[in-house]
Structure 1
Amino acid sequence: MKDAFAHVGGTLATGLADVTSDPAALDSGGWWAVVVTYEGKVTCARFTDVRPGRPPAAPWRGPEKWTTSLDESAYVAGVRRIQDAIADGVVYQANLCRVLSAPLPAGADIAGLGALLAEGNPAPYAMTLRLPGTEIASASPELYLARDGDVVESRPIKGTARTVAGLLPKDRAENVMIVDLVRNDLGRVAEVGSVEVPALCAAEEHPGLVHLVSTVRARLRSGVGWPELLAASFPPGSVTGAPKASALTLLDTLEPVPRGPYCGAIGWVDGDSRRGALAVGIRTFWTADGLLNFGTGAGITWGSDPVGEWRETELKAARLLEVSTGEGLGQR
C-alpha cells in the first residue's frame, strides 16, 4: 500500500498516526488532515511529521474519456425544476451539480495529479491527500472555514464568468443571498453582534475565470469547538442553496449520484495552535472504485438561463480537465 501523506500550502505531512470520524479530535493536540464528504462522512487523519516540503514525486497519466452523471438535456431539465420550485416559494436559489467519471489509468498516482494541478492551476486552498480508502487532489479557490483561536472566517464564492465584464446582475444577487445564509449559519455559534461582512462581492481572478467572493467573519462563543462549528454550517451554503434545508431536499431528488468529497470540506487543523483552514471541495478530483471523479455545478436562480448554467459547469471544469491530461508535466 502506498504511504499516506497530505500536502497543503507548502506543508508536507507524513507519518500517519490516527484516523477517526469524530471531529471532536480536532480540538485536541496534533496536526490533522480533514475530509468531510457532502453527505457528511467525516475523516480526520493525524500526522506526526509535519514540515515544509513538496508532495512526493509520482507518475500521472490522465483519463482519455469522461462520462457525466447529468448530460446537457438532464441538467437543463433540472435547472427548470429548480426554477419551478423558486416560483412555488420552496427555495430562492439552489446549486445543481454533476459528477464526471473516468477509469483511473493503470499506474496513475494521485500525488502526480496534485503536482500537476499545482503547476497548471495554482489555487489558494489546494490540497493533495492520500489515506487508506481516500485519495484527493484539489485545486479549490474557496474558503469554507478558517479558524484562528476564536475567530472564524468564511469566503463564499458565487458568480463566475470568463472576465469581470461577463459577470451578470444575477451573479451579485446570488452572492448576496449566500452571504446572508453564511451569516445565519455562523450566527448560531458566534458571540452576539460579532458577525460581520468585511468584503461583499469582490471580483477575484483565478486561472481561466473570475469569481465574485465575499468574506464573512465572526467570533465564536466560549466552548464552541469544531463539532459545533461544522454542525452549524455544513454543508457549505455556496454549494447548497437557500433556504439550505429546502435546497438539500430538492437537490437530493435531482442529482443521481452522491457528490462525495466534491462540495464537502477539505483541509487541515492544527489542534495545538487552534488554527485551521477547510476549503469547499470544489475543483476537486477523487478516486473511488477504480474511477477518477470530478464535480462541477452552478447556482440556479429565477433569472438563470438553463443552457447558460450548463455552459457555466463546462467552464468551471474545462481548465481542470485540460490540466489533468498534461502527461509528465507534474513529475519530478
Structure 2
Amino acid sequence: MSGWRDNCLGDGSFAHIGGLVATRLRDVTTDLSALDGAGWWAVVVTYEGKVTCARFDDVRPAPPGPRLAAGREPWRGPEPGAWHGSLDQAAYEAGVEKIRAYIEQGEVYQANLCRVLSAPLPRAGRDPLALAVRLAEGNPAAHAAAIALRGLTVVSASPELYLSRDGDLVESRPIKGTARTPEGLLDKDRAENVMIVDLVRNDLGQVAEVGSVAVPDLCRVEEYPGLVHMVSTVRARLAAGQGWPELFAATFPPGSVTGAPKSSALRIINELEPEPRGPYCGAVGWVDADRRKAALAVGIRTFWLEDDQIRFGTGAGITWGSDPRGEWRETELKASRLIALASYRETGGVT
C-alpha cells in the first residue's frame, strides 16, 4: 500500500475502511437516497444529522491495517495534559442526578450522557492516516475507519455496528454495558442492554417486513482492548420500497447512544450537554450501492479534526440504578486508552 495516498486527488481525499482503500473522489452529497443508486460511498453522519456521502472511483483491497508510506511523518498528537472536556466531573455527576430525577418523574427510562474532549493539534504530524495507524496498533477495532475529505476528517476505532446491510437484510449490534472485566458487569448493565434492544427492535420494525425482526443474540459479553462490553444483535428484512432515507429516519440517532424512549432522551441530552457531539455517536462507514452491501458503525471511540483541534467523545448510559461517580469512571475508562494513543510526550511515545 506504500504511496497510495499520493494517488489521491489534490485535496487529499481518501477513505480507509472495511478492508478497503478508496481514492479518486468523484462527488459528495448530503442526499441519503444516493446510497440507493450506484457506486461505493464513504459515509459520515453527525449525531445532529449532518450527512456527508462521498463517492470514490478507485476502491481496492487494503492490507489488514493502515500503513504509512515511506517518508511520511508519524502521528504527533497533543500533549497529554492539553485535553479539556465539555463537562467536568462535578457537572457530569450533576447531570447523572438530573437524569435520575427525570426517571423518577417517569419522563425517561434511560438516557446517554456524553462529554466531548478537545485539545489543540501541533502543526506537524497531523496526518489522519498516521493516527489510524496508531489506533490500529494499540486499539484494533472491528469497524476502524479513517475518512479524510475537504472540511471533514474522522478517525474511528468503533467496536459497535449501527447498521449492516446485505441486500434487504439489515442488522444492528447495540452495545450497552461496559466494565474492565466480565465480573464487573452489573444487573443494571443487562437491564440497560435489554431496554435498548427493545428500542432497536421497534425502530427497525418501522421499515421491516412484518414478522421479520429477530434477536438472534442477547447480552453476549465480548472482550475488547482494556474492557468488556455487553453486545446484542437485532436483525430484520427491509420491506419493499424502503431504502436508506427511510432506514435512517426510523433508526437514527442510534438507540444505544440516545436512550429510551428516544424522543424524551433526545430532549434531555439537548438540555444537559453543552456542546454538539458531531461525528461522535453518529454513523461512520461505507455503502456499496452496486452490491447492496454496507457497514455503518456507531461513531464511538472516534476522533475528528477541525479548527486546529482534535476532538473525542465519551459517555455512559444512565438509568435509575446509576451511581454518578461510577458513571463518570465509565466515561474515563472508555476514553483513557484512546486518548493515551492519540497523545504525545517528549520521549516520542504515548502516555
TM-score, normalising length from structure 1?
0.97
Q: Is the 8 A contact 1:95 1:298 kept in 2?
A: yes
Q: What displacement does 1:90 show?
A: 0.5
The reply to whether residue 293 of structure 1 matches residue 308 of structure 2 is no
Q: What displacement does 1:241 show?
A: 0.4
Could you tell me how far apart the structure 2 residues matched to 1:23 and 1:126 are? 22
Q: What displacement does 1:106 show?
A: 0.8
Which amino acid is 1:196 matched to?
A: A
Counterpart in the other structure of 2:216: 198
Q: Is the 8 A contact 1:116 1:329 kept in 2?
A: no
The reply to whether residue 17 of structure 1 matches residue 7 of structure 2 is no
Could you tell me how far apart the structure 1 residues matched to 2:247 and 2:180 are? 34
Per-residue CA distance 1:241-293 (angstroms, 9 max, x = gap): 00000100011010000000000000000000000000000000001111100
Structure 2 gap ranges (5+) = 1-9
Could you tell me how far apart the structure 1 residues matched to 2:313 and 2:327 are? 15
Counterpart in the other structure of 1:103: 120
From 242, 253, 257, the equivalent of 1:235 is 253
From 73, 77, 91, the equivalent of 1:62 is 77
Per-residue CA distance 1:113-161 (angstroms, 9 max, x = gap): 0111111100000100100100011000000000000000000000000
SS of the aligned residue for 2:229 comes to: strand
Q: Is the 8 A contact 1:102 1:292 kept in 2?
A: yes
Counterpart in the other structure of 1:172: 190
SS of the aligned residue for 2:42 comes to: strand
Q: Is the 8 A contact 1:142 1:282 kept in 2?
A: yes
Could you tell me how far apart the structure 2 residues matched to 1:194 and 1:119 are? 39
Which amino acid is 2:114 matched to?
A: C
Pairing 1:124-203 to 2, within 5 Å after superposition: 124-203=142-221
Per-residue CA distance 1:79-100 (angstroms, 9 max, x = gap): 0000000000010000000000
Counterpart in the other structure of 2:227: 209
SS of the aligned residue for 1:99 comes to: strand
The reply to whether residue 252 of structure 1 matches residue 270 of structure 2 is yes
Superposed structure 1 runs of 4+ greater than 3 Å apart:
326-330
From 90, 104, 115, the equivalent of 2:133 is 115
SS of the aligned residue for 1:25 comes to: helix
Could you tell me how far apart the structure 2 residues matched to 1:180 and 1:105 are? 44
Could you tell me how far apart the structure 2 residues matched to 1:288 and 1:12 are? 23
Q: Is the 8 A contact 2:120 2:310 kept in 1?
A: yes
Q: What displacement does 1:62 show?
A: 1.4
Q: Is the 8 A contact 1:116 1:326 kept in 2?
A: no
From 15, 36, 40, the equivalent of 2:49 is 40
Query: Number of paired residues?
Result: 330
Counterpart in the other structure of 2:14: 5
Could you tell me how far apart the structure 2 residues matched to 1:14 and 1:252 are? 37
Pairing 1:261-272 to 2, within 5 Å after superposition: 261-272=279-290
Q: What displacement does 1:111 show?
A: 1.2
Could you tell me how far apart the structure 2 residues matched to 1:320 and 1:73 are? 23
Could you tell me how far apart the structure 2 residues matched to 1:75 and 1:318 are? 17
Which amino acid is 1:25 matched to?
A: A
Which amino acid is 1:63 matched to?
A: P
Which amino acid is 1:87 matched to?
A: E
Q: What displacement does 1:56 show?
A: 6.2
Q: What displacement does 1:53 show?
A: 2.1
Between stretches 254-263 and 3-12, larger displacement belongs to 3-12
Could you tell me how far apart the structure 1 residues matched to 2:88 and 2:291 are? 46
The reply to whether residue 30 of structure 1 matches residue 14 of structure 2 is no
Q: What displacement does 1:104 show?
A: 1.2
Q: What displacement does 1:183 show?
A: 0.2
Counterpart in the other structure of 1:50: 59
SS of the aligned residue for 2:47 comes to: coil
Structure 1 gap ranges (5+) = none
Which amino acid is 2:213 matched to?
A: V
Q: What displacement does 1:329 show?
A: 7.7
Counterpart in the other structure of 1:323: 341
Which amino acid is 1:291 matched to?
A: Q
From 76, 87, 90, the equivalent of 1:73 is 90
